[in-house]
Amino acid sequence: MNKQTLRYSGCKLPPYTEYTCLRPLTAGVPFVTKKNPHVDRFFISARSWQDEFNALRALLLQSELDEQLKWGKPCYTLGDSNVVIMQGFKEFCALLFTKGALLQDPDWILEKPGENTQSARRIPFTSAQQINELKGSLGRYIADAIDVERSGRKVAFRQTEDFAVPEEFQRRLDAMPELKAAFAALTPGRQRGYLLHFGGARQSKTRASRVEKCIQDILDGRGLNDR
């Protein structure tokens, strides 16, 4: 299919902005892929994975997702919802699917970003050739992510009571009624954040140290990442 660059004034788009259409136009219902000029600087200034980022961008621009820049990264949205985020790391780059836990994974290429990640899944890449070889599969994963978002399906997150309370933290809760009350008053998300933080340390000494450093924040009603 030949690309066609066009100027379209039939919808609310910035005037005189060029858009690259990678799908045929249906009579009366134009499909216009939006290349956000504010995101261009990310691809131009990327110090690594530039070829890979551009290959991923070309794939995502063939979808109906909108391109935005969030957290300094290209983010592809459906309405107000983040669906796919492009990421770059030292050893690899990746596509992060925000509701990846709900996606079908026939090619077994989705992975958890972290041991305790509940919703997001990512696909890592180390070369543009790898992306090109997976082009067909990636298109299906992106389409599946759009279908999941449009369906309104939600990830069933584990509740606070499903997380183990580290012994080192439990001892402090038992010894400090005010700490126990303050922790109970936190939102479930903040509670889970602390439990994951404390339990993520392998050694008891490290867990105890993490607990001590966070006691005042808990008493003040702050979450782990609150400032």
Quick check: 209 pLDDT over 90? yes
Q: What is the DSSP string of 30-77?
A: -------HHHHHHHHH-SS-HHHHHHHHHHHTTSSPEEEEETTEEEEE
Quick check: 156 pLDDT over 50? yes
Tens of pLDDT, residue by residue over 12-51, are 333 333 444 444 433 444 444 578 999 999 999 999 999 9
* Cα 67 from Cα 42, distance rounded (Å): 12
What is the pLDDT, as a whole number, of residue 1?
38
Average pLDDT for the chain: 85
Please answer whether residues 148 and 158 qualify as being in contact, where contact means their C-beta atoms are separated by less than 8 angstroms.
no
Under CATH, which architecture does the 39-151 domain have?
Alpha-Beta Complex (3.90)
* Cα 77 from Cα 88, distance rounded (Å): 19
88: β partners = 93
78: β partners = 81
Quick check: 179 pLDDT over 50? yes
Sorted by where each begins, the domain ranges of the chain are 1-33, 39-151, 160-219
Higher pLDDT, 117 or 119: 119
Distances (CA, A) of 124 to 77, 89, 110, 174, 225: 20, 10, 8, 44, 27
Where does the pLDDT of residue 158 fall: very low under 50, low under 70, confident under 90, or very high at 90 and above?
A: confident
What is the pLDDT, as a whole number, of residue 33?
54
Two tokens, residue 46: 């990327």
Tens of pLDDT, residue by residue over 77-115, are 999 999 999 999 999 999 999 999 999 999 999 999 987
Within 10 angstroms of residue 4's Cβ, the number of other Cβ atoms is 11
Mean pLDDT in residue range 57-75: 95
Where does the pLDDT of residue 161 fall: very low under 50, low under 70, confident under 90, or very high at 90 and above?
A: confident
Please answer whether residues 185 and 177 qualify as being in contact, where contact means their C-beta atoms are separated by less than 8 angstroms.
no
Rg (CA), the chain: 22
73: β partners = 70
Encode burial over 30-49: b for 16+ CB neighbours within 10 A, e otherwise. Answer: eebbbebeebeebeeebeeb
* Cα 68 from Cα 53, distance rounded (Å): 14
